[in-house]
Chain A
Amino acid sequence: MNVMYFAWVRERVGRPSEEVETAATTVRELVDELSAREPRYAAAFADPAALRVAVDQQLSDFDAPLENVREVAFFPPMTGG
């Protein structure tokens, strides 16, 4: 699936998006899997309460299932307007 990062999450991970092969069944499992990979992911995901997630471009949560999901995005709380 395509995993995207925005704002300071993008800066900590060091890239805007990437293809990830994963067996994770939920967003939380994906976060744990990425965090275990490299310190830059662990740094980006250190405080889950400071993160928001979109699953296939819909705001979602860490319990969301990943079955048939094409795109997951992680970012801080939004500051539009």
Chain B
Amino acid sequence: MDIRVQDAPFDLGAESGSFAARQSGMGAVVTFTGIVRNNAAGDLREMMIEHYPGMTEKAIGDIAMEASSRWNLGDVLIIHRYGALAPQEMIMMVATSAPHRSDAFEAAEFLMDFLKSRAPFWKKEVTRESARWVEAKDEDEDALSRWSSGVAD
């Protein structure tokens, strides 16, 4: 398990490549990448991402452990950035490996759902005129409930 919380950018190609290259015995690797989406008006200057140093790493570790206990996984890589990010910059990536693809896909989705509303990050949208905290959406919370019954059975 490899968990990194950093302000520096990451190299998606290099990270995906080296992750895939060290998965002996696995048949599938799934990667997800989150990028900074511009707002509806198209005037986003930057996304400020705040986090809770210490708790962030623990919370992500707990989420990754939970995924590893639910699915037959080989390995998990999670990189999540903080600080000021410009539109189209990569915020985060998740990679999972498994003997079979369904485990890798489902675990990656599970990780994303929980990282969104259970890892201590907060986004602030900064435009030329204003700055506002991004509000959590009800559907993000709803997304967690689908994992409460035994999906991995």
Contact = CB atoms under 8 A, between A and B. Distances in A.
Main secondary structure of the interface of B (DSSP, over half): mixed
A44 interface: no
Nearest to B54: A57
A8 B133 contact: yes
Contact of A81 (B34, B55, B124): B34
Interface string B37-78: 000000000000011101100110000000000000000000
B117 interface: yes
A7 interface: yes
Contacts, number: 72
A78 B51 CA distance: 9
Interface residues of A, number: 16
Given A6-B120, A8-B133, A75-B120, A81 B92 contact: yes
A80 B121 contact: yes
Contacts of B133: 7-8, 76, 79
A79 B122 contact: yes
Most buried by B among A6, A77, A81: A81
Interface of B: 34, 50-52, 54-55, 58-59, 80, 91-92, 112, 115-124, 133-136, 141
Interface of A: 4, 6-8, 54, 57-59, 73, 75-81
6 contacts: A8-B133, A76-B122, A76-B133, A77-B135, A78-B120, A80-B51
